[in-house]
Amino acid sequence: MNGMQFQDLVASSRSYRRFSDQRVGETVLSALVDAARLAPCGNNMQTLRFRVVGERDECDAVFGHLRWAALYRDWDGPEPGERPHGYVVICLPAE
């Protein structure tokens, strides 16, 4: 991909606030996390920790802590059939 293709990709992206009922499996999410953990970082410290969340009750718990579209004060986020079916939670280690 060249610079112009990347710029076109970024320019055409948008924010999604409603999701389909198609599930992304934990295997796919784990593969994405595996790729992310290999990315270079300052001092090669790899301080971030990742937690893949895919079970329905865990997704519901994560959803309760999210803030959706802060400018839309009367909207609490997507309805149950439009919510994400998985999350990658990014954490810092406790110090």
In degrees to the nearest 10, what's the CA dihedral of 43, 46, 48, 51? 170
Residue 62: pLDDT band (50, 70, 90) is very high
Would you state the structure tokens that stand for residue 11, as one six-digit string?
Answer: 């320019």
Residue 63 and residue 1 in contact, taking contact as beta carbons nearer than 8 Å: no
The structure tokens listed for 45 are 């410290």
Overall average pLDDT of the 49-72 stretch = 89
Q: Per-residue pLDDT for 52 more than 90?
A: yes
pLDDT at 57: 93
Please state the rounded mean pLDDT for residues 58-80. 88
pTM: 0.70
Mean pLDDT throughout 79-87?
90
Measured CA to CA, the distance from residue 56 to residue 19 in angstroms comes to: 15
Average pLDDT of the residues in 31-46: 80
Give counts: helices (H), strands (E), the chain. Answer: 3, 2
Indicate if the pLDDT at residue 9 is higher than 80. Answer: yes
